[in-house]
Chain A
Amino acid sequence: MSDFEPKILVFACNWCSYAGADMAGVSRYQMPPNCRVIRVMCSARVRPEQVISALTQGLDAVLVLGCHPGDCHYTEGNYITRRRGIMLKNLLETMGFEKSRFQVNWVSAAEGARFAQVVREFVEEIKALGPSHVSTEKDTGTHA
């Protein structure tokens, strides 16, 4: 599975993590090209349905990035994300997804290096896991 290149979706919040990604870019940190970043106004804007939908439509993993707890631009959005994330992670685990296919993490606007590190580690972890069981087990057109 060494040549497996996962497709990863990253939701980054406008106020911290997206700016962090910008910082990482400006600072010329090397990052793997597996991530597709979507900017959202707040990590709490990410609906659990969007995560589940991504995982069942062939993406290998989803990463949600927000401000550090206590630093949310909207005061409490990331606390809501955290609670939702825990419930969603448990549900996905119960249904047979590996724990690490969905992660939430915190990156502030100043942490360009941290953004690069979080993304690098995440990609390495998913590479080691291999493709998602849903995308590999997908039977096409057999349904009568």
Chain B
Amino acid sequence: MRDQLKGMQTRLREIAAAFLERPDALCFIGWEMTPDEKETRPFFARKPRQVKRLVWNEMCHPNPASYLPGLRGSEGMIGVAVKGCDARALRELIRANQIERKNLFVLGIPCAGLVDPNTGAIASRCSECQYPVDLDYDETLGPMETPDLTVERSAPDLDAMSLQQRRAFWKQELDKCIRCDACRKICYGCYCPECIFEMSDPKWATNRGDLADKIFYHAVRAYHLAGRCVGCDECARACPMGVRLDLLNRSLRDHAKEMFSFDGAGITDEKPLLRTFSTEDPDPFFGGDK
């Protein structure tokens, strides 16, 4: 396993170096180890000699594709390494015109599951792993197919809880929140030039820090990702207070599947969930034609 990852890392460096030799190459986005060697962080290689800092291992949690909207309009080709969840995000970004495919060099990396640094087991985000169908890669390090993983997902079942229990659960979770915006910053899908939480007129959100304000923040944040969340759980990983943000996005994904048979963002070229409708949509909660 370790040898296989090492081999892939060598190959990744070779491909990145060859790409950066091209005269039109701007940068190659991948991962490097943090100084304490315990985690990885995103790394932008700009010169071929820098590729020795690039790594590939089971700790490569960050999503390199999430930096692409910030590079929109820049001159030159951008290389980007993507694992399965990143590839889903990449497809959504291309569809949302956040980056042009012709300016990208996409290196697909087959991932056999990431490891949660806290538990040492396969990360729970990998439990719903699904590779995009027919995505166009420039190069790959192997077949880009959904790996066969059995992962226990440690999550309280919100649907099974009573209303009171859910309230108590979210009160407890949201009390931890310090409104640092880490979840928003890390998300591939939060690329609006002016975020609703930063607007001053109208001032939608405050930083009062009471429960109502946090409910507004997290409900809106999750809703803005409805049908776009690729389920990478980066929000929960980035949260310094350990708030289970992934549960909100996950519940929206589950409902989208249940109500509209929506496959999930970035997997196929299915139309975006809230950009389309069907006259056959369920009308379960509404008065309808009584």
Contact = CB atoms under 8 A, between A and B. Distances in A.
B204 A69 contact: no
Interface stretch (A2-10, A18-26, A27-35, A50-58): A50-58
A94 B165 CA distance: 11
A87 interface: yes
Interface in A91-133: 91-92, 94-96, 98-99, 103-106, 118, 133
7 contacts: A49-B196, A52-B223, A86-B282, A87-B226, A96-B171, A103-B287, A139-B210
Of the candidates B247, B274, B285, the one having the most CB atoms from chain A within 10 angstroms of its own CB is B285
Interface string B209-221: 1111101101110
Interface in B207-258: 208-213, 215-216, 218-220, 222-223, 226-227, 247-248, 251-252, 255-256
A103 B204 CA distance: 22
Interface string A70-86: 10000010011011111
Interface string B258-290: 011000000000000110011101111111110
A21 B33 CA distance: 63
Contact of A106 (B196, B219, B289): B289
Nearest to B168: A96
A143 B170 contact: no
B285 A104 contact: yes
B252 A82 contact: no
Interface residues of A, number: 43
Interface string A34-75: 000000000000001100110011100000000011100000
Given A84-B274, A90-B252, A138-B211, A95 B219 contact: yes
A137 to B, nearest CB: 6
Contacts of A57: 212
Contact of A69 (B211, B212, B260, B283): B283
Nearest to A138: B212
A88 B273 CA distance: 13
Contact of B220 (A52, A84, A138): A52
Given A82-B283, A90-B255, A133-B167, 6 more contacts: A82-B286, A87-B227, A89-B285, A91-B255, A94-B247, A95-B248
A87 B212 contact: no
B166 interface: yes
Contacts of B211: 134, 137-139
Interface of A: 48-49, 52-53, 56-58, 68-70, 76, 79-80, 82-92, 94-96, 98-99, 103-106, 118, 133-135, 137-140, 142-143
A82 B259 CA distance: 12
A49 B282 CA distance: 22
Contacts of B1: none
B261 to A, nearest CB: 13
Contact of B286 (A87, A104, A135, A139): A104
Nearest to B258: A90
A94 B288 contact: no
B247 to A, nearest CB: 8
Q: Which 4 A-B pairs have the closest CB atoms?
A: A96-B167, A143-B209, A79-B277, A90-B255
Contacts of A133: 167
A95 B166 contact: yes
Contact of B281 (A70, A82, A98, A143): A82
B212 to A, nearest CB: 4
Contacts of A104: 285-286
Given A80-B277, A87-B274, A94-B251, A56 B288 contact: no
